[in-house]
């Protein structure tokens, strides 16, 4: 940690940082003391982009030996962990029984995906070897002496960790009396071997007569999921979409998967896992939104033709939304998809205003279904449409300008999509929609005007 902090202090754009080492066992994101989390504040006034600042940070951490790092926004970091237990955008979970084999295959996977474009912060779940004292019971000797494994386990538990045998009362406070070996004996293997354990039939034997006692190394942690041991290879993604990167990773990893022993298998987690399931849900919601918009329009105009003309604003809005994502260098994320759903309703508004005013002018102000009427309606509705679009757009500008700021990871893509769609749909509506109405909507408008069910006066009065 001292080396990391010394290196961080040399980064010019870093204003300040705080460190948290480990997390309590009852914490939602429990961690051992071998893990440290740094929360950094970068200079927002720096002439360099956020990507350049993060690249410098990653290169600085790569210079420190025996340290692996992952750089991510605080909210994204916690969301990733809550969704799948992986603190990264992409997590490859390798399941199996042998920890040595798991780590060996994990290193093969790490080497295979290291060169995939867009992969960054690649690391294997940290796991270190720590000294352990192993006591392996000999069941044949236990049967010979008539001792059960539970009795030996309880004996060792008392010797090493202690056992409460009584309490001492001191005024209003009570203190437990704990019996256990002193520290020197607990750390001496030979002393443990000489410990005597009572036999059910009388007499005593040393612990070494019932078990093999020796020192060895072992993993500091064994992680399990779905009752299976697992190890995680994780990475973040930059300058590419998560889905595209995972497709390339699958191609690189497939030869290794085919050679895995029986009982070993892979799963993909992280934000990619949640994005896959969420994409399906959002796809269904998008279809439902389109159907809902169409039904509302049909209930208003009683015409499939006119309803579809209003909905032609959606492709125009989506053109601007996609262009905004491309110009800002963003991928199609779940947040961006939510923006597209919102845009489906917002973009239809201009078409409704124009079409209602066409019908109003013909029905109440003596206009005919002519080009001059269409031009007049467009001019009269220009100010209301622009005012409405500007009001919505200006409210989104602060979010669009907050690219890369902490806490804006979700709102920034949503605002970008909606603002881009608003601009394109507003500009194109006054050119495309009048042409569509003149070419394909005149007969449908005549049929609608001939019915008395639809009123175009109360809600949308004419403006001059």
Per-residue confidence band for 149, with pLDDT thresholds at 50, 70 and 90 = very high
- Tokens matching residue 142: 């236990």
**Is 419 found in the same domain as 289?**
yes
Tell whether 460 is covered by a domain: no
Report the distance separating Cα 350 and Cα 449, nearest Å. 20
Tell whether 464 is covered by a domain: no
CATH of the domain at 291: 1.20.1640.10
**Is 306 found in the same domain as 413?**
yes
Give the range of the structural domain holding residue 101, as residue numbers without chain letter: 71-126+227-269
Boundary (domain end) residue, out of 44, 69, 94: 69
The pTM score is 0.62
Beta bridge partners of 20: 37
CATH of the domain at 188: 3.30.2090.10
Does residue 139 have a pLDDT over 60?
Answer: yes
Tell whether 456 is covered by a domain: no
Q: What is the pLDDT of residues 278-306, one digit of tens each?
A: 788 888 888 998 898 899 888 888 888 88
Tell whether 458 is covered by a domain: no
Q: What is the pLDDT of residues 172-185, one digit of tens each?
A: 889 889 999 888 88
**Is 92 found in the same domain as 191?**
no
At residue 365, the pLDDT reads 84
**Is 215 found in the same domain as 112?**
no
Tell whether 17 is covered by a domain: yes
Tell whether 388 is covered by a domain: yes
**Is 329 found in the same domain as 286?**
yes
Report the distance separating Cα 435 and Cα 441, nearest Å. 9
**Is 289 found in the same domain as 205?**
no
Contact (CB, 8 A) for 72 and 61:
no
Integer CA distances (angstroms), 385 to 311, 340, 359, 407, in order: 16, 20, 17, 32
Please report the beta strands in 357-440, taking only residues with DSSP state E, as ranges in sequence order. Answer: none
Phi-psi region of 302 (alpha: psi -120 to 50; beta: other; left: phi over 0): left
Sequence-distant (≥ 6) Cβ neighbours of residue 401 within 8 angstroms: none
**What's the mean pLDDT in 359-380?**
87
DSSP states along 111-126:
HHHTTSTTEEEEEEPP
**Is 91 found in the same domain as 2?**
no
Per-residue confidence band for 464, with pLDDT thresholds at 50, 70 and 90 = very low
Q: How many domains does the chain have?
A: 4
Does residue 110 have a pLDDT over 50?
Answer: yes
Tell whether 463 is covered by a domain: no
Q: Pick from 271, 277, 336, 267: which is nearest to 70 by CA?
A: 271
Report the distance separating Cα 207 and Cα 196, nearest Å. 6
Q: What is the pLDDT of residues 373-431, one digit of tens each?
A: 989 988 888 888 888 888 888 988 988 887 767 667 778 899 999 999 999 988 888 88
**Location of structure tokens 């437990």:** 176
**Location of structure tokens 């040595």:** 100
């Amino acid at each position: 940690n001292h080396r990391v902090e010394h290196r961080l202090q040399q980064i010019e754009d870093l204003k300040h940082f705080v460190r948290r080492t480990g997390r309590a066992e009852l914490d939602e994101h429990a961690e051992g003391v071998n893990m440290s989390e740094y929360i950094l504040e970068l200079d927002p006034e720096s002439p360099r982009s956020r990507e350049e600042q993060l690249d410098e940070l990653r290169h600085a951490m790569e210079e420190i030996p025996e340290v692996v790092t992952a750089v991510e926004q605080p909210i994204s970091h916690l969301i990733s962990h809550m969704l799948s237990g992986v603190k990264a955008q992409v997590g490859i979970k390798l399941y199996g029984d042998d920890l040595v084999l798991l780590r060996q295959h994990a290193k093969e996977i790490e080497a295979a995906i290291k060169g995939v474009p867009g992969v960054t912060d690649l690391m294997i779940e940290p796991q270190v070897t720590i000294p352990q004292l192993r006591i392996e019971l000999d069941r044949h000797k236990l049967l010979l002496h008539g001792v059960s494994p539970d009795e030996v386990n309880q004996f060792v538990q008392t010797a090493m960790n202690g056992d409460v045998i009584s309490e001492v009362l001191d005024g209003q406070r009570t203190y437990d009396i704990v019996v256990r070996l002193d520290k020197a004996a607990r750390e001496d293997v030979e002393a443990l071997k000489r410990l005597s354990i009572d036999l059910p039939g009388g007499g005593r034997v040393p612990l070494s007569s019932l078990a093999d006692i020796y020192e060895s190394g072992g993993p500091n942690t064994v992680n399990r999921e779905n009752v299976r041991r697992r190890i995680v290879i994780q990475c973040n993604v930059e300058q590419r979409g998560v889905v595209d990167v995972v497709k390339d990773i699958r191609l690189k990893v497939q030869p290794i998967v085919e050679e895995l022993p029986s009982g070993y298998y892979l799963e993909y987690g992280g934000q990619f896992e949640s994005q896959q399931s969420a994409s399906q849900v959002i796809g269904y919601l998008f279809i439902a939104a389109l159907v809902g918009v169409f039904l509302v329009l049909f209930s208003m105009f009683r015409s499939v033709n006119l309803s579809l003309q209003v909905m032609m604003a959606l492709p125009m809005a989506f053109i601007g939304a996609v262009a905004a994502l491309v110009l800002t260098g963003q991928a199609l994320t779940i947040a961006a998809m939510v923006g597209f759903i919102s845009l489906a309703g917002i973009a239809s508004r201009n078409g409704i205003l124009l079409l209602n005013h066409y019908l109003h002018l013909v029905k109440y102000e003596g206009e005919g279904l002519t080009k001059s009427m269409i031009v007049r309606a467009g001019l009269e509705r220009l100010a209301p449409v622009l005012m409405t679009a500007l009001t919505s757009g200006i409210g989104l500008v602060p979010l669009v300008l907050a690219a890369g700021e902490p806490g804006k990871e979700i709102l920034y893509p949503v605002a970008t999509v909606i603002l881009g769609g608003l601009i394109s749909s507003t500009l194109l509506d006054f050119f495309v929609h009048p042409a569509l109405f003149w070419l394909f909507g005149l007969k449908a408008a005549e049929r609608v005007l001939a019915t008395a069910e639809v009123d175009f006066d109360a809600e949308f009065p004419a403006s001059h």
